[in-house]
Amino acid sequence: MKRSQHSKTLGSLGIVVAFALTIAANAATSVPTPKKTVAPHLSGNLRDAAGEVSVLVDINEFGYVIDAQIYDSTNSELNDATLSAIHQWTFTPAMEDGSPKSSRVVQPFSFNRGSIVLKAKKTPEDSLPIAKVKTRPQLSEELKHITGEVVLQADLGADGKVKAVAVNSSTHSELEPVAAEALKNWKFKPATEAGQAVASKVIIPFQFKGSGNARVVAVAKRTKNLDQAPYAIRQHAPELPKALRHARGDSKLKLTIDANGYVADVDVLESTHSELTALAQAAALQWKFKPALKNGKAVPSTVTQPFSFNGGLLVADAPVDSVPEVKRTQTPKIPEALALVQGYVKVRVSLDDRGHVVNASVAQSSHDELIGPTIEAAKQWSFKPATRGGERVPSSILIPFVFNEQS
C-alpha cells in the first residue's frame, strides 16, 4: 500500500502501537467501539474519489477523541476530510479491570467512488461491498428545487441486500426519507472474508441538485406587491476552513425562494472576498423560508441577503453601516472529559441596540456536550452595537467557538 508522506513518519510508531494494543487486549475486558460516527464530507471532485485512509486515534477514558493522525493513506486528498470527521466521533471507552481507560486504535476508512466503508480488508483476498444496482430518489414537486446532501449508513446482509438504513448527516431533513427509501432498494455485491460472503455496513452520500430552477427564477422576478415577504425559519452557517476562519469580507446575495420556502437559486450581487462568498452561497442553499404570500397564496420570491465576515464573527442580518465589534468575551468552562477534545460550537447571538446579548442559541456543533457551557459563555459577551444611518440598531451575529485548534 502506498503511504502518504505524513504516514511514513509514523512508521516506527506503528510497531509500538500494534504491540501496545496487543497488551491492552489481553488485560482489558473490552476495547473501544465507535458510539457516534461522522462520515467525511467530500465536496467537488472528491465526491467520487477512491482510496484507503487509516487514522491513528487517541481516545480518553471518557470515550472522546483527543488526537488523530494519518497513519496510512493511498490518497492524500482525502486526509483532511477524514481527520475532520473522526475528531467528532465518540467511543465506548476501553475497559480494564472494570474501569474505563484511555486507548489508541487505528480506524480505517475505505472510499470507493461515492461509498465509504469504515473497515479494512483482513487479507488481500477479502473484498468490501460494492453497489451493483442503484435506485435514484423519487422527489416530489415540493422537493425538486432543493440543492443539498443526505449521508446514510446501510446495514447489508451477506446476500448484499439492505437490511436497515440510518441517517448519518444531512443538509435538509425533508430529503432524508426519500433518500432512505431509495437506498433500501439498492443491491450490493457483498463483502467477503476467507472466501465467504459476510454482513457489512456502508455509508452512501446522496447529492441533490435542484431542477427547474430557471422557471422558479423567472416566476420570482415577475412576482410583485406581496402580501407577506418571505422570512427565514432555518439558517445554516457557512463552513469556514481553518485558513479562512479569521478572514474578513462582505457578500451580498440574492436568494430565489420557491413557493415551498426552499432556496432554488443564489446569485452574487456584491463580493469583496470570492472564497468567503462561495461558502456563503453553499450555506444559503441549505436555508428554508416561510414562503412569500400574494392574494393568500404561497408564491416564489427573492430576498437580498448580506453576509459580513468579521474576523471570525459572521453577521447575516439586514444591511448595516458598521457591524458589531467585540468589547468583552468570556471563555466557556469545558468539562474535564472534553478538555483536550478538538471541536466547535457555532452560537447565534441576538444583540440589542446597546450591544447587549438578548438571546443565544446553538446553530451547529461537533459535540452536544460542548453546547451548554458555550451558550452560557456567549451570553456574557458584549459588543459595540451595529449602526445604520448613524443610529445604533439591533443585529444578530454568529460566533464560532473553536476548541483545541492548536492540537
pLDDT beneath 50, residues of the chain: 1-25, 28, 407
Q: Residue 213 CA to chain centroid, in angstroms? A: 25
- pLDDT for 43 equals 82
- pLDDT for 317 equals 66
- pLDDT for 374 equals 97
- pLDDT for 407 equals 39
- Tens of pLDDT along 238-293? 888 888 888 999 999 999 999 999 999 999 999 999 999 999 999 999 999 999 99
Q: How far apart are CA 167 and CA 175, in angstroms?
A: 11
- Tens of pLDDT along 348-364? 999 999 999 999 999 88
- pLDDT for 406 equals 53
- pLDDT for 15 equals 35
**What's this model's pTM, rounded to 2 decimal places?**
0.84
Q: How far apart are CA 281 and CA 253, in angstroms?
A: 8
